[in-house]
Each structure stands twice: as structure tokens, then as C-alpha cells.
Structure 1
């Protein structure tokens, strides 16, 4: 009985843990800059080719990461005081 329950839980966790339906495999971070009571939120998505897509409000631009990896870029934003998820 324990083996059946453990197997069922393992299979369920596999399907839940491996689902990529929501983000379609995109690597994205949402970051917010706050100053003088004003907040600006942008979504940064890695394109996998040294560029990223930056969306702020309804405007979207593709920009170069200037030789940085996506993780290095987001870490630099965080070090400068920007809040990222």
C-alpha cells in the first residue's frame, strides 16, 4: 500500500514540477525601480542570443546585454538597488 501511494505521489509531482505551459520556457524577471514615490516596473526576458526583450507598460524593445549573461544583468540591477523577482 505504501508503495502505491508513494508511486502515485511521485508521478503527480513529476507532472506538476515539469510543467512549462505558463512561461513556454522563457527566462524572465520582473523588476521595479522606485524613486520619489514613483515606481516603474519592467519585464526582462532572455532571448538566448545575447539580447533580451524589455517590456515597460505597453512598449517592448529588444536590447543587447553587452556581453553579459542574463543572470549577470539581473544581478547588476539588483546590486544597484532595483527590486527583481
Structure 2
């Protein structure tokens, strides 16, 4: 009986060892993006330090702070940039 209990405990331990939580998954991107009518891809990605990386067609164009968003959400900034086909996201 002790052997069976040991094997059962070992099996449970192995299952728990290889189980994962949803928080263990790869970090999801905190980026807002859109493609303008001329085909330009604009992205604004939140960094872990309270700044945002602005990209145009995959190239970094600026690092901006939350204060530089001037009350707009990152999504609003990207959407406005796409609507205006405004070149780089700059502040």
C-alpha cells in the first residue's frame, strides 16, 4: 500500500511539475497599430517603464512618455495618425 501511495504521489507531482498557468504564456503585445490608406503601418507599443515606442513600418521613430500623449489613449494616437497619413508619430 505504501508503494502504491508513493507511486500515486510521484505521478501527481510529475503532472503538477509540467502544468502551467495562463500567466506563464508569452507576454502579449501591448501595441496599438493600424495601416493607413497608403499602406503605412503605424504602431505604438507600451514599454514596461511607462514610455511608448512609436514605429512606422517596423522602424522605431520615437520613444515618448505618457505625458506626451496629451490625454489621448495610445489607440487614439495611432488611429489619428492613420487617418491623417501623418508620417511619423512624433510629439
TM-score by length of 2: 0.43
Higher share in helix:
2
Which structure has the bigger radius of gyration? 2
